[in-house]
Amino acid sequence: MLVVVSDTHARTDHRLAGRTLDAVREADLVVHAGDFNREPVLDAFHDVSTELLGVYGNTDDDAVRDRLPRARNFEYGGLTFAVTHTRRGGPTALSLFGRERDADVVVFGHSHRPMLDRSGPVALLNPGSHAQPRGNRSGHAELDAVTDGVRCRLVTPDGEAFERTTLTRRR
C-alpha cells in the first residue's frame, strides 16, 4: 500500500493519529507532499515509515529544504507519479507540471483540501491535511495497485473513506 499525506505543519512530531497513523505504519511507501515545517517532523515520519519520499513545501525550514527536493517522480502500480507541494496557476499549472514530467498522476498539497480530479490529461491528487485541515475535512490518501491501475481512496483519520477512484495510465 502507498499512503499520501501533506501539510503536517508541526514543530516536533508527525501529528499522525487513528487510521492515518495505522496506514502510515502499514504502508510499503509513504509520500509527503510538503509542509512538514521543521526537521524533527521529517525525522518523526522516517521513524514510523518503512520508506518515505517527500518534497519540501512553502513553510518548510532550511533543514527540511536541504534534505528534500522541491519536486520528484516515482513509480507505483505501473503509474508514474509527480509530486510537488504547489504550483502557481492552480489545476492548469499542476496538469502542465505532470505532463512535463511524463506523469499519470500529480500529487500535491498546500490547499489542505482533499481532492481527486481525473477530468484533465493528468489525474490530480491532494490528500488534504491530516493534522491541520483549516476548515476542510482531515484526510490522507491510501492507494493499492490492482490489475487495471491503482485504486485510490481519500480517508479521514477516523477511517471513513469519503472518495474513491481507480487511477490508470494517461499516456
For the residues of 80-117, what is the DSSP string, one character each?
A: EEEEES--TTHHHHHHHHHHHTT-SEEE--SS---EEE
Alpha-carbon torsion (133, 93, 71, 155), positive or negative: positive
Which distant-in-sequence residues (6+ apart) come within 8 Å of 66 by Cβ? none
Level-2 CATH architecture, domain 2-167 = 4-Layer Sandwich (3.60)
pLDDT > 70? residue 171:
no
pLDDT 10s digits, 3-45: 999 999 999 999 999 999 999 999 999 999 999 999 999 999 9
pLDDT 10s digits, 42-66: 999 999 999 999 999 999 999 999 9
Domain parsing of the chain, residue ranges:
2-167
pLDDT 10s digits, 78-115: 999 999 999 888 899 999 999 999 999 999 999 999 99
